[in-house]
């Protein structure tokens, strides 16, 4: 096998030259693979000699199949001999010709981009100010705790009012015909939550327990179900119960019930401390993100489109997995959102470019710094995962395939890389000096 290669940006063109003897073998293989497809009078099907078929159908009858076999085999051998070549898409056969000296053809493939790693050490990043904890922040946290500890008291002496939580049955019809998704029993609904069609909840105000009636509504023009857009519907409803939310009082007893503290003052101080820690962590995370963004932007890369498309494929697969967990699929998602697959992929494009760019830069730094996954640290991560998921560590570890272990190795390498970036760069308070006023 003789070949030459030429690279232009992210496209590698490999030119193979095949001797007549080598080509003859591929031509025979193509004939053996395809001879069963032909019937010629005087011969049993699958036993027509090669020269008879070529005289009947043309000399190049088996050329395309032979070329494909040859390209597949030679390209595979080429990759075995050139480990530094990293294809990112399926190859294609380019120009080809046949002479008395043999066959020449090209294989064109998109490969990982080559680039020069930019500055990733000695950088100064403006430190993110840590958000100060306000009294309103503590109050908001307390409100959430009160909401989680609220109880609902059944009401029987008055009709439905704004803010009530009710249980009801309903059956919706359009032109007298029930439609999919328009019927439910013992449905819970909070009046004023606006989770139902506009006008539905408002008309329930004033209903009493046990009352049945008809509610007329019009589906919005932008409703997710095409067949119901703009349609008038009548819902027959029956109210079964009315409950009202009762929040616990903010006092020392409340603090004792929901925390380890004896007084509300101590509990509020602890909430403030936890919020402060969270804000500090948020600032630290923002600093790290700014550092990563700076390091990545310091290394411009011409990213091949197939790498971006592959990343988008991964995002779409993740979405499908999430939808399946909720009993949905992509078709249902598109119907509900009004999106198309093309729009979904377009929405993912910029995110995919950033992800691929970041991954390529990280890989280059890992190589430059010779960062490896410490086996003890990898085993520690595997053990933590097993314990977190109630698995036997020894059994789980033994069952891991190389690709599974790579997941944990990659975690360790990424964290070592981020630690290196934090150590080799610094964060400084942003200067507020505006100069002397004249």
pLDDT at 328: 87
Q: Which helix (H) or strand (E) holds 179?
A: strand 177-190
In the chain, the N- to C-terminal Cα span, in Å, equals 78
CB 164 within 8 A of CB 155: yes
Asked if the model's pLDDT at residue 428 lies above 80, the reply is yes
Q: What distance in Å separates the CA atoms of residue 344 and residue 331, rounded to the nearest whole number? A: 12
Give residue 147's pLDDT.
Answer: 93
Give me the pLDDT at residue 437, please.
Answer: 42
- Mean pLDDT for 344-361 is 97
Q: CA-CA distance, 152 to 333, in Å (whole number)?
A: 34
Instruction: Record the tokens describing residue 377, joined without a space.
Output: 């640290």
Q: Read off the pLDDT of residues 101-133 as tens digits, 9 standing for 90 and up.
A: 999 999 999 999 999 999 999 999 999 999 999
With bands split at pLDDT 50, 70 and 90, how would you rate the model's confidence at 45? confident
Helix (H, G, I), strand (E, B) or coil at 33: helix
pLDDT mean over 73-81:
95
Nearest to 57 by CA among 36, 40, 71: 40
The confidence score (pLDDT) of residue 429 equals 85
DSSP 290-326: HHHHHHHHTS-----HHHHHHHHHHHHHHHHHHHHHT
Q: Whole-number mean pLDDT of the chain? A: 93
* Residue-wise pLDDT tens digits, 48-61: 998 899 888 988 89
What value does the CA radius of gyration of the chain take, rounded to a whole number of Å? 34
In this prediction, what percent of the chain has a pLDDT beyond 90?
82
Has residue 44 got a pLDDT over 50? yes
Determine the Cα–Cα distance for residues 283 and 21; give it in Å rounded to an integer: 69
Contact 87, 262 (CB under 8 A): no
Pairing of strands 124-127, 426-429: parallel
Q: What is the DSSP string of 117-142?
A: ----SS-EEEEPPPPPPPHHHHHHHH
Asked if residues 61 and 21 have their Cβ atoms less than 8 Å apart, the reply is no
435 pLDDT exceeds 60? no
Domains of the chain: 2-110 (3.30.70.1050), 151-246 (3.10.50.40), 264-429 (1.10.3120.10)
Q: How confident is the model at residue 431 (pLDDT cuts 50, 70, 90)?
A: low
- Is-contact 123 91, C-beta < 8 A? no
Query: What pLDDT shows up at residue 313?
Result: 96
pLDDT value of residue 112 = 95
Cβ(29)–Cβ(122) under 8 Å?
no
Q: Is residue 282 predicted with pLDDT exceeding 90?
A: yes
What does the pLDDT average to over 283-298? 96
Give the integer Cα–Cα distance in Å for 341 and 331.
9
Out of 30-39, 235-244, 261-270, 280-289, least confident range: 30-39
pLDDT at 436: 41
Q: Say which residue the tokens 């009636």 belong to.
A: 213
Categorize the per-residue pLDDT at 332 as very low, low, confident or very high, splitting at 50, 70 and 90.
Answer: confident
Share of the chain above pLDDT 70, in %: 98
Q: Which of 340, 338, 341 is nearest to 229 (CA)?
A: 338
For the record, the structure tokens of 348 come out as 């993912």
């Amino acid at each position: 096998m003789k070949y030459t290669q030429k690279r232009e940006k992210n496209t590698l063109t490999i030119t193979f030259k095949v001797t007549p003897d080598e080509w003859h073998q591929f031509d025979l293989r193509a004939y053996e693979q395809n001879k069963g497809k032909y019937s010629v009078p005087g011969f049993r099907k699958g036993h027509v000699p090669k020269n008879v078929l070529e005289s009947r159908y043309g000399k190049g009858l088996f050329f395309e199949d032979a070329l494909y076999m040859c390209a597949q085999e030679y390209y595979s051998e080429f990759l075995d001999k050139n480990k530094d070549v990293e294809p990112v898409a399926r190859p294609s056969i380019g120009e080809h010709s046949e002479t008395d000296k043999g066959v020449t053809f090209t294989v064109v493939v998109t490969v990982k981009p080559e680039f020069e790693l930019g500055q990733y050490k000695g950088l100064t990043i403006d430190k993110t100010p840590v958000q100060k904890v306000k009294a309103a922040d503590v109050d908001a946290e307390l409100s959430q705790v009160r909401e989680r500890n609220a109880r609902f008291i059944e009401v029987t002496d008055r009709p439905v009012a704004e803010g009530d939580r009710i249980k009801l049955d309903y059956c919706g019809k359009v032109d007298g015909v029930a439609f999919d998704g328009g019927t439910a029993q013992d449905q819970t609904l909070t009046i004023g939550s606006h989770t139902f069609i506009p006008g539905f909840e408002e008309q329930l105000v004033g209903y009493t327990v046990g009352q049945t009636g008809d509610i007329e509504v019009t589906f919005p023009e932008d409703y997710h179900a095409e067949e119901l857009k703009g349609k008038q519907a009548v819902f027959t409803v029956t109210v079964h119960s009315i409950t009202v939310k009762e929040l616990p009082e903010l006092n020392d007893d409340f603090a004792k019930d929901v925390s380890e503290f004896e007084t509300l003052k101590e509990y509020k101080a602890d909430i403030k401390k936890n919020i402060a820690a969270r804000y500090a962590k948020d600032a630290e995370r923002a600093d790290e993100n700014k550092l990563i963004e700076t390091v990545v932007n310091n290394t411009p890369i011409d990213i091949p489109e197939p790498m971006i498309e592959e990343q988008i494929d991964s995002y779409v697969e993740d979405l499908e997995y999430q939808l399946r967990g909720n009993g949905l699929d992509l078709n249902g998602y598109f119907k509900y959102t009004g999106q198309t697959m093309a729009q979904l992929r377009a929405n993912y494009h910029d995110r995919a470019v950033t992800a691929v760019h970041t991954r390529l830069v990280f890989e280059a730094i890992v190589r430059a710094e010779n960062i490896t996954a410490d086996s003890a640290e990898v085993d520690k991560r595997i053990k933590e995962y097993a314990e977190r998921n109630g698995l036997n560590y020894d059994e789980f570890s033994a069952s891991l395939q190389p690709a599974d272990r790579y997941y944990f190795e990659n975690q360790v390498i990424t964290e070592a890389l981020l630690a290196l970036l934090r150590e080799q760069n610094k964060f400084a308070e942003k200067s507020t000096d505006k100069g002397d006023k004249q």
